[in-house]
Amino acid sequence: MDAERYTVSNEEKGVKLLDFIAQRLGISRNAAKGLLNARHVFVNRKRIWMARHPLRARDVVEIVPHDSRPTKSSISTLYEDDDYIVVNKPAATLSNGPRSLEERLQRQEQSNWPCCVHRLDKDTTGCLLLARHEDALEQAMQLFKRHDVNKVYRALVAGTVKPEEQTIRTPIGDESAVSHVRVLDSTREASHVSVRIETGRTHQIRKHLAGLGHPVIGDRQYGSRSKHSEKLTKVGRQMLHAYGLQIKNPVSGGLIRAKAPLPHDFRRTLRLYGLT
């Protein structure tokens, strides 16, 4: 098995090596520390085992083959304080309910907390905010109802999106819905877009992009069923990722800010369609 290679982006400059590994692999910090302790990590072809080693933009981090690869079931924490936790939700996972990410976290804590403040679709990955106690849950839910939250998603969509910056205001279920779309890269076949939403209606981004004529690649519900390609058969889910979350902590007054790195299958699909 070949080594896994990851290039540090400009946004990740200054991130500690331990946190970089945990975020890129979607594993716990303890599991990432295990890889460092076992001397499985190289930076620019030099073996590094210091957890706090600061990374520079364009550094190449390599994780060599190893027998004790951390389990994919580990949940990566992106932010936490006394009131809230933001985790990187994996695909094929419910936000809450039976056999959900919320239930797994509660089982780990041996408690009825934390609880989801909002939800992500089962096959949507990325930033998910959970509250650690009842007061935190109630206050954060009020902020979501007032749309006092900044949520940014990444999506891979069919076709070339033009214009490169636009706002979609098509109502959903007779309720207002606003999505700001910006193209990051595009080809004739597909586009990589950033979507900032002002509202959080059910399936808002997927519906808005499909209505624009550019459905999310891999979306079996709102995607075009008439167009079938060999590439699409290699996409296992809808390519939608909750990339960034920013909200005021209504309990402490501080700022909650988290970013979830693009998951492996998303980055693989970017390469499949020749996108960056």
Classify the C-alpha dihedral 131-256-241-216 as positive or negative: positive
Same domain for 158 and 236, yes or no, is yes
Quick check: is 23 in a domain? yes
Angstrom distance (rounded) from CA 171 to CA 180: 14
The model's pLDDT over 121-148, given as tens digits with 9 standing for 90+, comes to 999 999 999 999 999 999 999 999 999 9
Same domain for 53 and 81, yes or no, is no
Q: Going by C-beta distance under 8 Å and a sequence separation of 6 or more, which residues neighbour residue 271?
A: none
What does the pLDDT read at residue 34?
A: 81
Q: What is the DSSP letter of 243?
A: E
Cβ count within 10 A of residue 159: 18
Q: Any idea what the CATH number is for the domain that residue 123 is in?
A: 3.30.2350.10
Amino acid found at 70:
P
Same domain for 163 and 233, yes or no, is yes
Angstrom distance (rounded) from CA 134 to CA 153: 28
Q: Which residues does residue 151 pair with via DSSP β-bridges, in sequence order?
A: 197, 245
pTM for this entry:
0.74
Angstrom distance (rounded) from CA 134 to CA 42: 44
Catalytic residue among 59, 83, 121, 219: 121
Query: SS3 of 244, please?
Result: strand
The model's pLDDT over 198-250, given as tens digits with 9 standing for 90+, comes to 999 999 999 999 999 999 999 989 986 545 577 887 888 999 999 999 999 99
State yes or no: pLDDT of 67 exceeds 70. Answer: no
- Mean pLDDT score of the chain, rounded to an integer? 91
What does the pLDDT read at residue 24?
A: 87
Domains: count for the chain: 3
The model's pLDDT over 88-124, given as tens digits with 9 standing for 90+, comes to 999 989 999 998 999 999 998 889 999 999 999 999 9
Label residue 28 by pLDDT band (50, 70, 90): confident
Q: Is 265 a catalytic residue?
A: no
Query: SS3 of 77, please?
Result: strand
State yes or no: pLDDT of 64 exceeds 60. Answer: yes
